[in-house]
Amino acid sequence: MEAVLSVEDLWKSYATRPGGPRRQALSGLGFSVPRNSVVGLLGPNGAGKTTTLKCVMGLARPDSGSIRIFGRDGGAVEARRKVGFLPEQPYFDLYLTPRKLLLYYGRLAGMEASAARPRISYLLNLVGMEDEADITMDKFSKGMLQRIGLAQALLAEPELLILDEPSSGLDPLGKLQVRDMLKSLSSGGTTILLSSHQLSEIEEICDRVIIIHKGREVASGALAELLEEEGECEVLLGKPVPESMATIPPTASWAEGGEGKRLLVPRDDLNAALASLLEAGASIAEVRSRRLSLEEFFVRRIGKQGWEVEG
């Protein structure tokens, strides 16, 4: 798999006050983003997501570590030319209109005005802001500004799109629209790295995840595989269930509502559990594998503490 972005052993600390002690934000973080994937950088507030993305974009300086974008050193301007970025808190001059702002960014990115104009109209339409294109942004809500931020990130037709909490400030319909937009960009070949603290968003859009906590990776990989690996098996007992089934294998538990018929067994213990069930005279009607939800996975790895399940 070709990586469009690879980050290795990234360390970053911040001074808590000028000359004061430093707080560690990233402690040896590493990950890579394969071409054409949609990767979710997931972690609770303060985990280090924004710091990571800022380091990748050259907006914060890591203490040490390596960042390569499209195989080049991340510090090279050329490396970032094909990267679009939506910051966590986009800062715009609110006395501009979206169309003027985007034209300004387009010119900064080296686009000709004649090429930028139709692209801007297309993008304003894509993010659902065509009717507000010529109104100054001081009247905009956070969600509207977020849409303009997305249009800005897409301006130069990036091959790699990096988004810091793209759904923040959006209402449920806005969130849905962003999801659809990202899915369609992804099927058009754009590689996407997005940070989020919302599990449902990540589960819906991403095919890979990097879960970070306190500046360190706690799990990463293909989402489906992670959830499958830590999943359980549901064992359906055939009738009649023997009396001795009151004592079930030590790592098994009755499935909710399935007492006496349905057992949950950790994947690694399946063979031992089946053997002991057969030994006890039970018959096995069916074994199904049950995938974890991302929330269950997360709680197992990090715990519920400090976590906003939906923010």
Ligand X SMILES: Nc1ncnc2c1ncn2[C@@H]1O[C@H](COP(=O)(O)OP(=O)(O)O)[C@@H](O)[C@H]1O
**Choice from 9, 45, 244, 279 touching ligand X (CB under 6 A):** 45
**Choice from 5, 25, 193, 263 touching ligand X (CB under 6 A):** 25
If one asks whether residue 249 binds ligand X (CB under 6 A), the answer comes out as no
CA distance to 64, 65, 152, per residue, from 28 (Å): 9, 8, 31
CA distance to 10, 68, 111, per residue, from 1 (Å): 22, 15, 31
If one asks whether residue 48 binds ligand X (CB under 6 A), the answer comes out as yes
Count interface residues toward Mg ion (CB under 5 A).
3
Residue 112 CB contacts under 8 Å (≥ 6 apart), including other chains: none
Q: Is 271 exposed, middle or buried (0-12, 13-18, 19+ CB in 10 A)?
A: exposed
If one asks whether residue 182 binds ligand X (CB under 6 A), the answer comes out as no
Query: Which residue, 87 or 249, is less far from ligand X as judged by CB?
Result: 87
Count interface residues toward ligand X (CB under 6 A).
11
Only one residue has tokens 């090429």, namely 115
**Choice from 32, 37, 50, 186 touching Mg ion (CB under 5 A):** 50
Between strands 38-42 and 208-213, the pairing is: parallel
Query: Minimum Å distance from CB 41 to ligand X?
Result: 8
Q: Is 241 exposed, middle or buried (0-12, 13-18, 19+ CB in 10 A)?
A: middle
Binding mask 80-99 for Mg ion (x = CB under 5 A): --------x-----------
Q: What does the binding site for ligand X look like in residue numbers (CB under 6 A)?
A: 14, 23, 25, 43, 45-51
